[in-house]
Amino acid sequence: MKVFPDDLLYNREHAWIRVESELATIGITDYAQENLGEILAIELPEVDSYVERDEPFGTIESAKGVFELMSPVSGEVINVNEDILDDIGIINSDPHDTGWMIVVEMKDLEELDDLLDSREYHDFVIKEAEGN
């Protein structure tokens, strides 16, 4: 059963974001990891690099293919989850918590206005699964 935590915001590319002040922790959703299947490899940006909203912040390979990860916000990468580089299975087993990927210091908090809350994201994925 897929999980849509209420304390997160989401983009339409299946990334979640947890906001604390100007810091945004980013990962991929439970829905995304379930669709991707077993994740085999990941590439993430380096600390101090810059990510742009709606541009790739990383790349993932699962048993089904390669997928670019789209950033929900712009900003400087201040932390990268080294644990998932050592044990990539965490992304499948705990995508919304210990499976986080990067922390970004946001440049423009107004970018958050374009993201979806959990109910909106839930409705979005239902429509997407139906092929709309």
Partner 1 sequence: MMIWRIIPFTHLSASENMAMDEAIFRVNQRKYSPPTLRIYSWCPPSISLGYFQKTFNEVDVSACSRYHIDIVRRPTGGKAVLHENDLTYAVIAKEHNPLFTPDILGTYKIISGCIADALSELGIHAEMSVDGRTSGDDSLKAVCFSSPSHYELLVNKRKICGSAQIRSRGVFLQHGSILLDFDPVRTCALLVPRDGDRERQIERLRESVTSVYEHTGAEISMVKICHVLQRSFEKKLGIELVEGGLTAEEEALMTRLIKDKYSNNKWNMESKGTLNGY
Position 131 contacts partner 1 (CB under 8 A): yes
Position 76 contacts partner 1 (CB under 8 A): no
Answer whether 122's CB lies under 8 Å from 49's CB: no
- Minimum separation from the CB atom of position 132 to partner 1 (A): 8
List the structure tokens of 24.
Answer: 């945004």
Binder among 22, 68, 83, 108 for partner 1 (CB under 8 A): 68
- Minimum separation from the CB atom of position 9 to partner 1 (A): 19
79: Cα within 13 Å, side-chain hemisphere: 12
Residues 26-65 that bind partner 1 (CB under 8 A): 35-38, 40-41, 43, 45, 49, 51-52, 55-59, 61, 63-65
Position 129 contacts partner 1 (CB under 8 A): yes
Residue 61 CA from chain centroid, whole number: 14
Closer residue to partner 1 (CB): 20 or 82: 82
Position 128 contacts partner 1 (CB under 8 A): yes
List the structure tokens of 128.
Answer: 């997407």
Backbone angles phi, psi at 28, to 5 degrees: -110, 155
- N- to C-terminal Cα distance for the chain? 21
Answer whether 45's CB lies under 8 Å from 55's CB: no
Interface ranges with partner 1 (CB under 8 A): 13, 35-38, 40-41, 43, 45, 49, 51-52, 55-59, 61, 63-68, 70, 128-132
